[in-house]
Amino acid sequence: MNTETLERLSPTQLYHRVLLDIATAAAASALGTSTNGAARATEESYVPGRLRESLLAECDEGMRRRLSSLANSAVAALAMQGPDNLAQSARKHGIDLSAEEALQISEHFEAKRNAVLSYQRGRELS
């Protein structure tokens, strides 16, 4: 990923933007919308969030709503994936996500799920 971008974003912002980019590219593919090569970025040139922004900017209002709805649903599924599947999904949609980055993202969302479950269990016991 572009190192300048990494310095400006918190890890949470970064991880969410990466998942949104993957999900938006997948949604565009499912809806038959061309990405016009927007998704094709090398690891060094990839800027999290730019793919989603460019795809949404190119669509009319109706397609933008469909694309956003489908992509937002896909984010939940992507957040549940392990690092190998996440990296594979990213590559499939033109985002060069390293194994280390995929692991960090996967661990972040797993930690969030575990925190919610721990909180809910604590409330049930009190």
**% residues pLDDT > 90 (the chain):** 56
Domain map (residue ranges) of the chain? 3-125
Q: How many helices (H) and strands (E) does the chain have?
A: 6, 0
Q: How confident is the model at residue 84 (pLDDT cuts 50, 70, 90)?
A: very high
- This prediction has a pTM of 0.82
**% residues pLDDT > 70 (the chain):** 83
Structure tokens at 87: 């990296």
DSSP 48: T
d(CA 116, CA 84): 24
Residue 78 pLDDT more than 60? yes
